[in-house]
Amino acid sequence: VKYSITKEIQFDAGHRVPLHESKCKNPHGHRYRVVAEVEGELQAEGSSTDMVLDFGDLKTIMQTLIHDKYDHSFIVWTGDSLWSTLQAWKESNSFAKIVPVDFHPTAEQLANHFFQIVSSNLFGDLKLKSLTVWETPTSSATVEEGN
Ligand SMILES: [Zn+2]
């Protein structure tokens, strides 16, 4: 049998999709939900015996590397015409939390980015099977292992 577990975190952030022809071009915010699904065998010893992975360990990875970096931030593509303005504002305001990324911050690209982050921080034989980013309560994008 194969086992997999999921963990979800949530954070609030702003973004815009500059190439979009409609409302997504305007700076706006979402409560993002990020769900990681990890596949593996049951551990045979230690405090995680008969678990794929301690939920708390997966939460720590997602919380420190995703939530803490992105929560209450504005995510901006470095090719966006807004970037230079936001960069200057960030440099003169210590509270500014602007997260530059080298991709269009769509749900799909954020899912791919978060997939790489979580995947590279798993240990042993654990595999990140999928990672889903929910941008609204009814809209999500999923990246699966191997893609
Ligand atoms: Zn959006």
Q: 87: which residues sit within 8 A by CB, 6+ positions away?
A: 98, 100
Residue 108 has phi, psi (to 5 degrees) of -65, -50
CA of 25 to the centre of ligand 1 (A): 8
Model pLDDT, residue 21 = 84
Model pLDDT, residue 22 = 86
Model pLDDT, residue 1 = 87
Q: What is the C-alpha separation between 65 and 127, in angstroms, rounded?
A: 18
CA of 59 to the centre of ligand 1 (A): 24
Check: CB of residue 96 under 8 Å from CB of residue 89. yes
Q: What is the pTM of this model?
A: 0.94
CA of 67 to the centre of ligand 1 (A): 17
Model pLDDT, residue 20 = 86
Cα 134–12–27 angle (5° rounding)? 90
Model pLDDT, residue 146 = 82
pLDDT along the chain (147 residues), means of 10: 96 94 92 98 94 97 98 98 96 95 97 98 94 97 87
Would you give the DSSP letter of residue 65?
I
Q: What is the C-alpha separation between 101 and 6, in angstroms, rounded?
A: 26
Model pLDDT, residue 109 = 98
Q: Report the catalytic residues.
A: 24, 72, 135
Model pLDDT, residue 124 = 86
